[in-house]
Structure 1
Amino acid sequence: MLVMFLARLPLTAMGVTLTLYVVTGLGRGYGAAGLVGTAATLGTALGAPLVGRMIDRYGLRPVVLLCGTVSTAYWLGVPSLPYPALVALALPAGMLVVPVSSLARQVLTAQVPAEQRRSAYSLDTISIESSFMIGPAAAIAVCTQLSPTTAVTGLGIGFAALTVTLYWFDPPVRHQDEQVPTERPPLHNWLTRDLSATLLVAAGALFCLVGTELATLAALRSSGEVAWAGVVIAVMCLASATGGMVHGAVRRPLSQTTLMLLLAVLVIPVGLTTQPWWLLALVLIPTNLACAPTLAATAEQIGALAPARVRGEAMGLLDSATRIGMAIGSPIVGTVLDHAPAAWGFAAAGAGGLVIAAAGPALRRFPVPRPALASPRALRKKCPSEAG
């Protein structure tokens, strides 16, 4: 878990570093920076299941070596690329980014007994929160105190170190006693309605989370308190980590659906009280208490539903679902914030997350069509010798 925490730091710093490099280093607008970020996010969403499938087939080391080499070359080459090339290469570079999150979940599923996985997944989500508190802040510090070019080059060096570390450490992605068939089961055999419903809830959760962050920044900007954004976000992360610890410790945790419902419903009324900044931070605590537990419950359910032979691909699909939720949530909530006060942004984040996540339980309850049984008379006509 320590290795995975350190490996996540370059990944958490990518978005803000690329934005500041395009805006400050290349002198372009935030729209241009957003285009590069969208291309990278789309690449990750498309490539995560493919990379997971490669891990299932070839093992960890060859895939880490390939993805790490591509990521290192891309980030070290960013300062030499013109903007059109930067956009064009962001998609393939995103497709082959080192899959640290899905790798961590695979390793935990393989190495931790089933009765203790909830605690392990909760610790992993706390590790994610911690990395997001450190990585972007460190990237902003390097960009502002040194230069965006230095930050971009540092990310390239960070990905090189990440690749060497994971290749040397080589954590097992399957337990040695697991009975894993040599042939990959067909997609329709393991991508069941339950697993698909879990992915939908994951997408809804990330829609809600990214929308909440955007609305929080908009609320602070409208009150002239943007300088306190780092403190408010730190409070949100600490609340999420606290919820993750409780979720991992209790004997009877709440279900994924219930946690998602709390996450979305509790964020809707946040917009009623957005000033001053410390009051906004306080009212954001309840919804963020459900953040890490929702993500941990999602990973636990995917690990339980996916067969060992396709676990990497299933975890890759989970990464894709979260990326899609973020990609949908940012423009929708952003558009609401462009035309309405921040309070409506919180409402849109909660309501949108509910709409997407509600498709999951609905999918589970949707009746499975059964073939009509032939009447006894028809059976006698078809097979008279076996009429008895």
Structure 2
Amino acid sequence: MTLAPYRRVLARPRARQILLLGLLLRIPIFGTGVLLTLHVVEHLGRSWKEAGLLSAMATLAIAISGPWRGRLIDRYGLRRVVAPSLFVTGAAWAVAPFVGYGMLMLLATVGGLFVIPIFTVARQGVIAAVPADERRTALSVDGVAVELAYMSGPAVAVWAGTQWGTAPTLLVVQMCAVAGGVVLWWLNPPMREEADVEAVEVPRSSWLRPRFVALCLTAAASTVVLVGSEVAVVAALREWGQETQLGLVFAAWGLGSIIGGIAYGAMSRGRSPYVLLAGLALVTAPMALAGSAFTVAALGLLAGLLCAPTITAGVEAVTRVVPTAARGEAMGWHGSCMTIGSAIGAPVAGLMIDSTGYRSAILVVALVGLLVALGGGAAALVARRERRPLELAA
């Protein structure tokens, strides 16, 4: 594996800029989720069920926000979308850590609706900053940044919350997000390639078609597999009395994803997201056979190798089937489907854990991923065969 593609991407100042901003702005997002849960249970003295309800409302708001704000970026540009986010989220989170449960739910929902759409912005910015032949590598770097934020955000937030309390920590975390948003607004990185800056608005019906829908379902299925298996692994470690090894397991899992993402970005040719999702499901299933933290960590390292490549391949495929002028909304839908998949994966796994145990939970979410991959791959094959006679006739 050669690192030359990464040197070319990171040699581009605009690419470095948006990749770093994407990393820094995602850390508060990942940290806020677990911090809110602790805040509701420990600071407000409410139940875990109530904490889960608040988390679900905030997650739903973020999922709704993605396509809506992505479409606004396509139409009005980055600054006119980020500016309202700074005011609304800044005001909401300046108050939210210090109010009761009901008002906190309202403010967290409003904050979710107006959250800076950093996943959409980062991916659009990265795509615009590099030529087409470097797109896979750049998106792989962005995928590694997501993994790093996912690993570090909750850990830093929980540590700070236990040291100084969840309320002040929530305030600081969100104000850091606002500060990062100010930097993003000031830098105003381009969201389209220079040749497409004047691209006209295209009707949604021209791209919101079965190929794009299949990619969104694949994105949702990938997070069903990932989040569902994570919940099952936590249950397994609790059953074994090895909760203290959670850090080891998730570190191995994350390391596998980073290695897989780097390797995928260095490849000269991409792979189908349906093939990668099927592979992810198949390498996740053996985790149901684990009997100790060290075994599940080793299997998690293996499963992690296909996490980042699956997501990267899906994002790259979206850029091929959606016009540049609609990319913001499309990325918003794609990201929202990943968020919805996360919201589905946890309760599905929880239901299976309560009824038949953690092993069946892992197998069920892996089966969901495999079935979606097979269905999406079959649909893509049919579409390709239908297009071929038209291309030959032309």
Q: Normalising to structure 1: TM-score of the pair?
A: 0.91
92-101 or 210-219, which moves further after superposition? 92-101
Contact 1:133 1:237 in 2 (8 A): yes
Aligned to 1:255: 272
Q: Matches of 1:70 and 1:219 in 2, distance apart?
A: 41
- Give the aligned residue type for 1:133: M
Q: Judging changes above 3 Å, is the alpha-carbon distance between structure 1 residues 133 and 346 closer, same or farther for their aligned structure 2 residues?
A: same
Match 1:204 to one of 205, 221, 244? 221
Q: Matches of 1:12 and 1:344 in 2, distance apart?
A: 28
Q: How does 1:276-315 map to 2 (within 5 A)?
A: 277-315=293-331
Q: Which has the higher helix share?
A: 2
Deviation at 1:366, TM superposition (A): 5.8
- Give the aligned residue type for 1:280: V
Q: How does 1:225-374 map to 2 (within 5 A)?
A: 225-275=242-292, 277-365=293-381
Query: CA-to-partner distance for each residue in 1:172-212, whole Å, 9 max, x for gaps?
Result: 10122226433x22111111222111111111101000011
Larger CA Rg, structure 1 vs 2: 1
Aligned to 1:55: 73
Aligned to 1:98: 116
Indicate whether 1:9 and 2:9 are aligned. Answer: no
Aligned to 1:218: 235
31-40 or 79-88, which moves further after superposition? 79-88
Query: CA-to-partner distance for each residue in 1:40-85, whole Å, 9 max, x for gaps?
Result: 1111111110000111111101211111222222222112322112
Aligned to 2:56: 38
78-87 or 8-17, which moves further after superposition? 78-87
What's the C-alpha RMSD, in Å, of the aligned pairs?
1.7
Contact 1:232 1:278 in 2 (8 A): yes
Match 1:116 to one of 128, 131, 134? 134
Contact 2:82 2:185 in 1 (8 A): yes
SS in 2 for 1:171: coil
SS in 2 for 1:267: helix
Q: Matches of 2:199 and 2:192 in 1, distance apart?
A: 12
Percent identity over paired residues: 36
SS in 1 for 2:195: coil
Aligned to 2:177: 159
Unmatched segments (≥5 aa) in structure 2? 1-18, 387-394
Q: Matches of 2:85 and 2:275 in 1, distance apart?
A: 36
Deviation at 1:367, TM superposition (A): 7.2
Q: Matches of 1:140 and 1:51 in 2, distance apart?
A: 30
Deviation at 1:334, TM superposition (A): 0.9
Contact 1:203 1:357 in 2 (8 A): no
Indicate whether 1:86 and 2:101 are aligned. Answer: no
Q: Judging changes above 3 Å, is the alpha-carbon distance between structure 1 residues 92 and 365 closer, same or farther for their aligned structure 2 residues?
A: farther
Unmatched segments (≥5 aa) in structure 1? 371-388
Q: Matches of 1:185 and 1:365 in 2, distance apart?
A: 26
138-147 or 359-368, which moves further after superposition? 359-368
Q: Normalising to structure 2: TM-score of the pair?
A: 0.89
Query: CA-to-partner distance for each residue in 1:282-314, whole Å, 9 max, x for gaps?
Result: 012222100000011011111222111111001
Aligned to 2:4: none
Contact 1:40 1:91 in 2 (8 A): yes
Contact 1:126 1:244 in 2 (8 A): yes
Q: Matches of 1:304 and 1:92 in 2, distance apart?
A: 33
Query: CA-to-partner distance for each residue in 1:321-356, whole Å, 9 max, x for gaps?
Result: 101111111111111111222211211220122234
Q: Matches of 1:356 and 1:14 in 2, distance apart?
A: 30
Match 2:37 to one of 19, 25, 34? 19
- Give the aligned residue type for 2:31: A
Contact 1:71 1:159 in 2 (8 A): no
Deviation at 1:358, TM superposition (A): 3.7
Query: CA-to-partner distance for each residue in 1:92-119, whole Å, 9 max, x for gaps?
Result: 3212111111111101121211111011
Contact 2:283 2:303 in 1 (8 A): yes
Aligned to 1:381: none
Contact 1:75 1:155 in 2 (8 A): no
SS in 2 for 1:284: helix
Contact 2:287 2:296 in 1 (8 A): yes
Indicate whether 1:148 and 2:166 are aligned. Answer: yes
Contact 2:231 2:349 in 1 (8 A): yes
